[in-house]
Amino acid sequence: MSASLPFSFIIDDTLEEFFKFSSDLNISAPLSNLTGNYNKTATEGQIFRVVPEDADDPVFVEIIFNGTSVAVFGETATSDDGPLSENFTVTIDGGEPYMSTYDDPSPPSYRQWFQSPILSEGSHTIAFTNVLGSPSIDFAVINTTNAIHQQSVIVDDSNALISYTGAGWTTANTSFLLFQPPLTSKVVPYGNSSHLTAEVGDSFSFNFTGSELTVPGSLGVRFALDGGAPQDVEMTVDTAQVKSTDGQTQLNTPFFQSPSNTAPGSHNLVVEVTQAQNLSFIFDYITYVPSTSPAGTGTDDTSATPWMLRHKLHPTAIAASILGGLTFLLLAGYLYRCIRRRKQQSRNNFPYPFQNGVDSTSETGRMA
């Protein structure tokens, strides 16, 4: 299947057909009680040294893909090894190596730390060498005009396919501080910005062709898929799984997943804020698995089963778990700083970064 325009597919670090890591890296399972990165994994080198020229495996990683470009996300290298740790060597398709930098003004932080140039559509190999300071790779995003089988499209909040309604929406390009005892990490939102609102009634809509859609978010939000009948769900925060310090909160959960019986095809999603409680709903991206094309269609599929979901969070539970009125961070599920091991397990059905922290029980449900 193909599409007429490039679209962005998430490729997890566990997928060996895309990532060829150095034998110097740890690749055993991480601690199960740690909140995870994308698909609960990240791959990180040991405290890296310059690899000798006669080494058997001088490459940190090779990324093999079909497409026009690739971006790499994870935590940047520390400055422990001095100025040299700010740079690494890139080789594209066996060509002339060149020096690149993480472009991080205050390392380490979690962000996009590499973007390839635009290449011709086709097969490419990008190798990173001379890596110092122990950076991590959480996932890559490949731009391509051809859909990648069983992989999810990621749609940034600034994408023109997402339509916003309401006067309260603003954009922010600030980074967040995520706390994961005993470590802290700065988080740069996907696409370097996010949308947020604290106005009840504000909404956004998104047309897509596919299934397994996930929208991470917060507060009382009403989700309507294909304009169908409502299903009420009460969401309560499990405070035992929320970690807070100095007003910073980490909460990892998917706030909306399309129903498992949602047929692949054209669908319309509407997300409406129904509660605010002096907090902000922060929205950064959507993921879904495309069917015939990774593009939104711009039209509703009248044959789709109408479906609607209203999400409400108990304000008292939110207030108890969030210090200083800081809302959940949409991108928080991507992050755990410096996970040094790579998880070897099957992917979840819904490839969302948020994993823990919310109990969901359905009170009433009506399907049209």
pLDDT at 189: 84
Show the tokens assigned to 257. Answer: 């997943």
Contact 333, 352 (CB under 8 A): yes
pLDDT at 264: 87
Residue among 107, 185, 118 nearest 145 (CA): 118
Tens digit of pLDDT for each residue in 125-179?
Answer: 999 988 877 788 888 999 999 889 889 999 999 999 999 999 999 998 877 665 5
Percent of the chain predicted with pLDDT > 90: 24
The owner of tokens 């039209």 is 299
Side-chain-facing half-sphere of 122: CA atoms under 13 Å: 4
Residue among 351, 344, 360 nearest 43 (CA): 344
pLDDT at 8: 95
Structural domains of the chain ordered from first start = 2-148 (2.60.120.260), 155-357 (2.60.120.260)
Backbone φ and ψ for 338, nearest 5 degrees, come out as: 60, 45
User: How far is 166 from 148, CA to CA, in rounded Å?
Assistant: 35
Distances (CA, A) of 59 to 19, 47, 89, 317, 331: 12, 15, 10, 48, 30
Q: Would the pLDDT of 66 be above 80?
A: yes
Backbone φ and ψ for 231, nearest 5 degrees, come out as: -135, 120
Average pLDDT along the chain: 67
User: In a 10 Å sphere around its CB, with 0-12 CB exposed, 13-18 middle and 19+ buried, how is residue 195 labelled?
Assistant: buried
Q: Would the pLDDT of 314 be above 50?
A: no
Torsion of CA 74, 181, 316, 308, to 10 degrees: 30
User: How far is 104 from 110, CA to CA, in rounded Å?
Assistant: 9
Tens digit of pLDDT for each residue in 273-305?
Answer: 887 776 677 788 888 999 855 544 333 333 333
Look at the alpha carbons of 35, 40, 41, 42 in this order and tell me if their dihedral is positive or negative: negative
Distances (CA, A) of 221 to 171, 180, 199, 201, 274: 19, 27, 11, 9, 5
3-state secondary structure 284-302: CEEEEEECCCCCCCCCCCC
User: How far is 45 from 242, CA to CA, in rounded Å?
Assistant: 29
Residue among 173, 165, 145 nearest 295 (CA): 145
Q: Which of 102-106, 317-321, 341-345 has the highest mean pLDDT?
A: 102-106
pLDDT at 41: 54
User: How far is 253 from 309, CA to CA, in rounded Å?
Assistant: 17
Q: Would the pLDDT of 17 be above 60?
A: yes
Q: Is the pTM of this model over 0.75?
A: no
